Amino acid sequence: MAAQSSSTFANPPNYTFTSHRLHRTLHASDKQPIVLVACGSFNPITYHHLRMFEMANDFVRQNTNFEIVGGYLSPVSEEYEKPGLVRAHHRVNMCTLATEQESSGLMVDSWEAFQNYQRTAVVLDHFDYEINTVLGGVSTRDGEHRDVRIMLLAGSDLISTMSEPGVWSHNDLDRILGRYGTFVIERTGSSMDQATDSLARWRNSIYPIPQLVQNDVSSTKVRLFFRRGLSVRYLIPAAVIDYIKQNYLYLDDGSGPEKEKGKDKESGEAETSLRDGGSLLQL
């Protein structure tokens, strides 16, 4: 796979590529090095997102000749204008808290987050450029150079949109699914076959990964829980819960204040617990 010819990529101000957890040496010289990239809103990041990488890791190790040398979350730009999408710096911060504290191989790239909307194909091109052209790829143990293959990690929802006519440009699909390749986490119980029929020409570089455990905590539900004062503990990392509370995120859905339901607000309960927790420690 030839290195991308120097494209003019627009970088956000003061941008540098995060690479502290990128493996620069391939363990097994007969394996093809790859980097997984998950694009999304991450509004907020959840354990489901982190699980996707774990599942892909297992699948790749047990079924392919790839070796994963890094994994990235790439939060979408604010310009994407989805209702309820909180500021990019919050989403980048939450992703960073989650990956730094709860994973050993994941990183966050803020390239698309901090500028104008960038198409997924362009985001993958940017990774290709940063990792293979700027950093120079990886080496085998005997010093041989290898280019890293950038691959998209996605849920089946995203892939479904790819088979809908007119949503994605053919050229972009050709790059994402053909040139780069994709791992697709299947929804439990629903097979990918129909979705990929229309993407048949790229079948060889689309890798469906069955999900053995249903763990469909979605960001949408998490935001709903926050609005309703319901607990999201054990659905998203504790550090992210703290961040959301400290920054008063997700208290409304962006369409106006909600009438408070139920007997007490969750935050009120939390305050009580903290006071109580304090007095318990003195006993």
Answer yes or no whether residue 282 interacts with other proteins by CB under 8 A.
Answer: no
Answer yes or no whether residue 269 interacts with other proteins by CB under 8 A.
Answer: yes
Binding mask 229-248 for other proteins (x = CB under 8 A): xxx-xxx--x----------
> CB–CB of 157/133 below 8 Å?
no
Answer yes or no whether residue 63 interacts with other proteins by CB under 8 A.
Answer: yes
- Listed residue (70, 40, 41) closest to 56, CA to CA: 70
CB of 133 to other proteins, least distance (A): 30
CA distance 277 to 206: 51
> CB–CB of 125/8 below 8 Å?
no
Answer yes or no whether residue 62 interacts with other proteins by CB under 8 A.
Answer: yes
> CB–CB of 36/56 below 8 Å?
yes
Query: ∠139-146-174 over CA atoms, to 5°?
Result: 150
Answer yes or no whether residue 278 interacts with other proteins by CB under 8 A.
Answer: no
Residue from 21, 23, 24, 221 touching other proteins (CB under 8 A): that is 221
CB of 261 to other proteins, least distance (A): 7
Answer yes or no whether residue 272 interacts with other proteins by CB under 8 A.
Answer: yes
> CB–CB of 122/7 below 8 Å?
no
Answer yes or no whether residue 102 interacts with other proteins by CB under 8 A.
Answer: yes
| Count of residues engaged in binding other proteins, rule: CB under 8 A | 42
Q: What are phi and psi of 258, to 5 degrees?
A: -100, 145
Burial of 203: CB neighbours in 10 Å, binned 0-12, 13-18, 19+: exposed
- Which region among 112-120, 145-153, 161-169, 214-222 touches other proteins (by CB under 8 A)? 214-222
Residue from 81, 263, 278, 282 touching other proteins (CB under 8 A): that is 263
Answer yes or no whether residue 266 interacts with other proteins by CB under 8 A.
Answer: yes
CA distance 95 to 112: 14
Residue from 58, 79, 144, 157 touching other proteins (CB under 8 A): that is 58
Answer yes or no whether residue 225 interacts with other proteins by CB under 8 A.
Answer: yes
- Listed residue (139, 137, 118) closest to 3, CA to CA: 137
- Which region among 50-58, 130-138, 144-152, 244-252 touches other proteins (by CB under 8 A)? 50-58
CA distance 110 to 15: 8
Report residue 232 as tokens: 């999201």
Answer yes or no whether residue 277 interacts with other proteins by CB under 8 A.
Answer: yes
Residue from 19, 32, 41, 64 touching other proteins (CB under 8 A): that is 64
DSSP 82-99: -TTPPPHHHHHHHHHHHH
Where along the sequence are the contacts to other proteins (CB under 8 A)?
47, 50-51, 54-55, 57-58, 61-65, 102-103, 210, 212-217, 221, 224-225, 229-231, 233-235, 238, 261-264, 266, 269, 272-273, 276-277, 280
